[in-house]
Every structure is written in structure tokens, then in C-alpha cells.
Amino acid sequence: MGYMGRPPYDPKDMLKLHIYGYLNRIRSSRRLEHEASRNIEVIFSRILK
């Protein structure tokens, strides 16, 4: 059987995103997604692995 779907997210990136959400009192996964594309802090944390 072949590979189907998107590759999984890196667990380190997911942890960073959840810690960011916790520190900024963001509980909604949809809002976290929005912040990840809008906020420069989150974008930098992904670049500076």
C-alpha cells in the first residue's frame, strides 16, 4: 500500500506552537492556526529550529 495523505508535522514544532498558545492564552486550535500564519514570533520559532 502506498503512502496516502500529508506527512505528519514535526512534534517539536507542535510543542512550540502549544507552548506559545498556553503562554498567550490561546485555547482554540483554529486560533492557533491563524496565529501561526500571522504572528512573527511563531514564524521565527519555525525558522530557527
| pLDDT single digits (tens) 19-33 | 888 988 988 989 988
Per-residue pLDDT at 1 exceeds 70: no
In a domain, 42, yes or no: yes
Counted residue by residue, the chain has a size of: 49
Nearest-10 Cα torsion for 39, 28, 26, 31: 20
* pTM for the structure as a whole: 0.65
- 19 domain residue, yes or no: yes
**What is the band of 47 on the pLDDT scale with cuts at 50, 70, 90?**
low
Looking at the domain assignment, is residue 25 inside a domain? yes
Q: Count of domains in the chain?
A: 1
Domain that holds residue 36: 11-47
